[in-house]
Amino acid sequence: MSVFNQTNQHVGTQNNIVNETRNEGDTFNMSGDFRGANVNIKSTLNNVTQTIGALPNADDSLKEELSKLIQQLNDTLQQAPAEKAEAAEAVAKTAEVLVQTSAAEKPNKTLLEITGKGLLEASKAVADIMPTALKVATQIVAVVGKITGV
């Protein structure tokens, strides 16, 4: 999450002072109790998108499909309420590990299977309020399977 705030004061004619505030980047307005909640989903899944571009064993159509699914997962997880923030972050982190593992020249198939199952399990933890997360996670596991032959 990056926010850049800049405040400028300009002295206009006749000694009028004009204040300007400019925000650049992502701004999140949240309310509630966030003690212990770590909201890193967007940056985690942005890293995944960069990894997808470098997948050595995937053709462009599979990379594009996987990128769209990761974006859809990101959009879904951004809607997580505070009480599900930790579970939503677990989904994002597990998706990151799955894609990073698949990016190896010779991916560890056992690790891919375990991580794929982990992504599905993590998604089940948020499925009660975000059923789309489980659906998208299932599709992500399937695409990674096509890419890696698992």
β-strand pairing of 3-11 with 17-25? antiparallel
Is 137 a member of any domain? yes
Is 100 a member of any domain? yes
Is 103 a member of any domain? yes
Is 120 a member of any domain? yes
Is 57 a member of any domain? yes
Domain count, the chain: 1
Range of the domain at 115: 41-148
Better pLDDT: 14 or 114: 114
What is the pLDDT at residue 71? Answer: 92
Closest C-alpha among 103, 102, 138 to residue 119: 138
Q: What is the pTM of this model?
A: 0.71
Per-residue pLDDT reduced to its tens digit, 61-111:
999 999 999 999 999 998 889 899 999 999 999 999 999 999 998 999 999
What is the pLDDT at residue 18? Answer: 53
DSSP string, the chain: --EEEEEEEEE-GGG-EEEEEEEEE------S--TT----HHHHHHHHHHHHHT-TT--HHHHHHHHHHHHHHHHHHTT--GGGHHHHHHHHHHHHHHHHHHTSSS--HHHHHHHHHHHHHHHHTTTTT-HHHHHHHHHHHHHHHHHHT-
Is 129 a member of any domain? yes
